[in-house]
Amino acid sequence: MTIEVGERVMIGGHSAVVRYVGEVSGHPRVWAGVEWDDPSRGKHNGLVNGVQYFRTSSARGGSLVSIQNVHRGVDLLTAIRNRYADSSADENVFVINSKAVELFGMQSTSQKQSNVFELRHIVLESCSVAGPPPETCPLFRRCVSLNLFNNLLQRWEDVRKILVYFPRLRELVLRKNRMDAAGVGEAWSDVKCLTDLILSDCGLTSESISNVLRYLPGLRTLYAVGNRFSHFFVPEVADSLLNLDIRDNPIRCLSNITENLSNVKYGRWHIVHYTQPASCVRQVVDFLKQHAISLFNEDFSFFLESVQVSCISLHYPDTAYFSQYS
């Protein structure tokens, strides 16, 4: 099947998006112009010898590669069978909250993998997973942890379809899958058990993160480190969320942060703007003080100086109340 523009592919173990397929002046064969997920791997922005073959979002995020070196993704079931057909694969190493954990004293994977549908922890790092398993695939009824780090997923509908095959899944790692924008939609009613979701380095916007929380209102832990959102809004339906990590984002505004969030990691900002109902005045101030102390072990005024904030504004849209702390 022909590789298409817009398709996510793997090249030498590194993921990219195809921006051009065709001939290149002065060179034989068919070439693919790709935009790397990691822009530092690129050489140009699609302009080669005066010809603009394609464009990239960064000045040097693209490359031209021989089409023979471009590998398309596989469905999830194929990736699982490829991964666990290797007797050296170790099911006893899995991920909890993005950290590898090894189980000792367990039966070896080579003795267990006669039936991949009995696996409890599945790790498919950099395995070119691009979509859900075929419709005829049985359910993975025992699996509770699925690690899809650095694969080729991009559509949220494909993520939903994958989750349907894992009715007991508690943790899903999607880090370094360049996901499309998540549109407004209803909760995924067929996803019952998922509590921990890792979406770090997925290129997500503020709106996408909020919509994902609407898809999965039962989440208790969300890691969204290293994306590109400037504000963060917790939807009302996400009242189960307890742990939130949004470090390494250009955060300028937090909205609707509730007392249910007992563990928040957000890094340092130049401007902090909280938007809450008037009934939460005391709660917001306490929240700021609490997390300033937990981050810097100093008082609130030192927190303001350390992040170079000239003022913190608390705006309550349902009243005329507006206050500044400077």
Alpha-carbon 84 to chain mean position: 25
Distance CA 222, CA 145 (A): 15
List the chain pLDDT tens, one digit each, 326 residues.
589 999 999 998 899 999 999 999 988 889 999 999 999 999 999 999 999 999 999 999 999 999 999 999 999 999 999 999 754 445 455 444 445 454 444 444 444 455 899 999 999 999 999 999 999 999 999 999 999 999 999 999 999 999 999 999 999 999 999 999 999 999 999 999 999 999 999 999 999 999 999 999 999 999 999 998 888 888 989 999 999 999 898 877 777 776 677 787 876 543 344 444 444 445 555 655 555 434 433 344 444 444 434 344 444 344 433 344 43
- DSSP code, position 128: -
Q: Are 285 and 271 in contact (CB under 8 A)?
A: no
**Widest pairwise Cα distance in the chain:** 69
Distance CA 49, CA 165 (A): 49
Position 13 scores a pLDDT of 85
- DSSP code, position 80: H
Position 86 scores a pLDDT of 59
Distance CA 322, CA 249 (A): 26
SS3 (DSSP) at 135: coil
Partnered with residue 101 across adjacent β-strands are 94
Distance CA 290, CA 87 (A): 50
Distance CA 100, CA 98 (A): 7
SS3 (DSSP) at 123: strand
Residues 6+ apart with CB under 8 A from 17: 6, 7, 8, 9, 34, 35, 37, 178
User: Is residue 29 exposed (0-12), middle (13-18) or buried (19+ Cβ within 10 Å)?
Assistant: exposed
